[in-house]
């Protein structure tokens, strides 16, 4: 029999999830000056608005009898849609939006941190051209971390038996510095070692090739500027692993978009409406990202499996392993 025992039953877990999500939405919107908006569940393939993620995940798509000569795709994230929305809704500089993003990623692996069902807060904010630098990015990361700390404070007031997880300030490091620090380790081993030591870390410059000519991790070439992006990770003692809470970055301008599409041999995307707008400088400069709802819940509610805080579909191996480890899935 496994020693693991959830600190909450199913009903109390669901109640705590709502408290956590409501609290974090409020803290995040206040600290970043964001307004909640509605967002699409699907987009037309021809719009170019869907997210290619690492470049190989295929979105779930379907046909509609009223729309000819185009497929409809379930969004994989809203990275590009948000930037277009900020322009269409006439948002002002240093004002932004956030939304609940629900997606199906059918090619996702299934483990304690990954599910084919994705729920996250997608957010985007207009900035000035002078803000396109690492200092502005890092200050924004610190604001998000502060919202996480404030959320955890309130959660622990209600549930004092929970262990605190946001226990340090953010430690910043680039993917290149991480490689130099741990040259003999794999990329995931570098993340584990650095995050376990520092607890809350932000790894920047993801997408750019390292010494072996491969990036630290995959990143689509048409939303983040690879020089100005990164991942926020928090160490979870409950699974002895880092949990990636957020992928975010300052978005591409015309120069970085062309450069990154060239590197990936994807210049054909310049024919899409969104990409044309970036090249023609018709969209605002922005910063944005996604923040994993279930991952934050899993972390702060001291859970071992993401299926304890979200209702999804699991393969038979996962179901059997969770049963052996006394993990009760929603």
Active site residues: 51, 105, 120, 231, 244, 247
Task: Please name every residue paired with 215 in a beta bridge, in sequence order, or none if there are none.
Answer: 209
Tokens representing 146 are 């502060």
Burial string for 48-86 (b: 16+ CB within 10 Å, else e) reads bbbbbbeeeeebbeeeeeeeeeeebbbbbbbbbbbbbbb
Q: 45 and 71 in contact (C-beta within 8 Å)? A: yes
3-state secondary structure of 99: strand
Task: Please name every residue paired with 224 in a beta bridge, in sequence order, or none if there are none.
Answer: 251
**Around 20, how many Cα atoms within 13 Å sit in the side-chain half-sphere?**
26
Burial string for 115-124 (b: 16+ CB within 10 Å, else e) reads bbbbbbbbbb
Integer Rg of the chain from CA: 20
Between CA 149 and CA 300 the distance in angstroms is 10
* C-alpha dist (Å) from residue 304 to 156, 243, 294: 18, 11, 12
Tokens representing 36 are 């909640």
* C-alpha dist (Å) from residue 110 to 106, 107, 116, 189: 10, 9, 7, 20
């Amino acid at each position: 029999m496994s020693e693991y025992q959830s600190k909450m039953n199913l009903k109390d877990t669901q109640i705590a999830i709502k408290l956590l999500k409501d609290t974090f939405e409020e803290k995040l919107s206040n600290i970043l000056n964001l307004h909640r908006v509605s967002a699409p569940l699907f987009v037309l393939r021809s719009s170019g608005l869907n997210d290619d993620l690492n470049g190989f995940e295929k979105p779930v798509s379907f046909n509609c009898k009223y729309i000819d000569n185009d497929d409809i795709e379930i969004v994989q994230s809203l990275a590009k849609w948000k930037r277009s929305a900020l322009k269409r809704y006439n948002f002002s500089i240093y004002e932004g939006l956030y939304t609940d993003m629900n997606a199906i990623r059918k090619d996702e692996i299934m483990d304690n941190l990954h599910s084919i069902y994705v729920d996250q807060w997608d957010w985007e904010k207009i900035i000035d051209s002078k803000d396109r630098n690492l200092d502005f990015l890092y200050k924004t990361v610190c604001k998000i971390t502060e919202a996480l700390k404030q959320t955890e404070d309130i959660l622990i007031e209600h549930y004092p038996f929970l262990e605190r997880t946001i226990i340090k300030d953010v430690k910043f490091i680039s993917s290149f510095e991480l490689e130099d620090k741990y040259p003999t380790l794999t990329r995931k081993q570098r993340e584990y070692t650095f995050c376990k030591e520092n607890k809350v870390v932000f790894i920047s410059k993801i997408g750019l090739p390292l010494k072996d000519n491969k990036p630290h991790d995959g990143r689509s070439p048409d939303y983040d500027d690879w020089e100005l992006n990164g991942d926020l990770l928090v160490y979870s003692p409950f699974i002895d692993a880092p949990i990636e809470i957020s992928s975010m970055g300052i978005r591409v301008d015309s120069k970085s978009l062309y450069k990154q599409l060239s590197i990936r041999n994807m210049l054909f995307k310049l024919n899409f409406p969104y990409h044309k707008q970036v090249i023609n400088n018709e969209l605002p400069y922005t910063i944005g990202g996604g923040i994993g709802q279930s991952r934050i819940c899993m972390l702060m509610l001291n859970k071992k499996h993401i299926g304890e805080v979200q209702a999804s579909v699991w393969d038979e191996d996962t179901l059997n392993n969770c049963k052996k480890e006394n993990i009760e899935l929603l």
